Amino acid sequence: MSLIRIHEVGPRDGLQAEQAVVPTEKKLDWIRRVAGSGVDIVQVGSFVRGDKLPQMGDTDELFRILMKESHRAVLSGLVLNEKGLERALEVGVPLVCMGVSASETHSRKNTGMGTEEATGRIIAMALEAESSGRHVQVSVQSAFGCGFEGAISEDRVMSIVVAYLEAGLTNISLADTAGHAYPEQVRRYVRKVLELESGTEITAHIHNTYGLGMASVYAAMEAGAMAIETSFGGLGGCPFTRMAAGNVATEDLVHGLQRAGMRRDIDLDALIAVSREVAGHMGRELPGSVYRTGPIPDKVKA
């Protein structure tokens, strides 16, 4: 757990469900500051149609600007289809993220494709991205349950994982799109993937819809997940699921890790400052805790 990586997805997953579009300059400021805080990866946006998801309409522009700069963090971008991948490759995205929903209903609402078709196309896209010299992360969305269908078969989830592994894709995210995950389930799934291929780099993307987000994150880390996807202030949620709810807050997770002596290389104060600005811009409190309470002091008074 001391080596756990933090993948900040606030600029993408955090903003995609918002009604108001955040100005590009404001996004750039938040991304630069989070990328400079010491987190490992920052997800800048998703390559989707701007008329479908206006909040992501400036993703290409953001990358064109950011790729001319030097950043401590790796920058990632989400693609859903071949056109999105073409755009991502054109602007030089270093880490291309893509995935398949284990829920047939969610898959069709999110991408217009069923799970079987999406699996074949995503694997082909991932291999194309790798052949272009990009790092790739593939995910299983709705891995722990679906807001439309309810429980999702573990066998169905693992069949997608097996398809990835057979294609040589070993950077895999298990995504809790609907927030149905609970710790025992997360622990079991992470261990199951590692049994299939011990060298798999597992990321856990956990939502906090029903209050079990942080507990599930710790279960994932304890079971062997190497990275966690979080969002500033706990903002976010998939707009194509039945009940969109926030992610685990980046600063909450970093605060917990630092209390245990881990990831002290990350500037927690910088993360808190960004989350406070995001909350101010949105005009409301965000789901996270530490940006409101402040961190617990390290030193005990004599």
Burial of 24 (0-12, 13-18, 19+ CB in 10 A): middle
126: which 2 tokens? 């991932």
Given the DSSP bridges, would you call strands 227-230 and 171-176 parallel, antiparallel or unpaired?
A: unpaired
Q: Is residue 238 annotated as a catalytic residue, yes or no?
A: yes
269: which 2 tokens? 């104060």
Strand, helix or coil at 203? strand
- Cα–Cα distance, 141 to 107 (Å, whole number): 9
Q: Are 296 and 251 in contact (CB under 8 A)?
A: no
- Cα–Cα distance, 43 to 4 (Å, whole number): 17
Catalytic residue chosen out of the listed positions 9, 53, 238, 279 = 238
- Cα–Cα distance, 38 to 269 (Å, whole number): 11
- Cα–Cα distance, 36 to 70 (Å, whole number): 10
Residues 6+ apart with CB under 8 A from 99: 122, 138, 139, 140, 141, 173, 175
Catalytic residues: 238
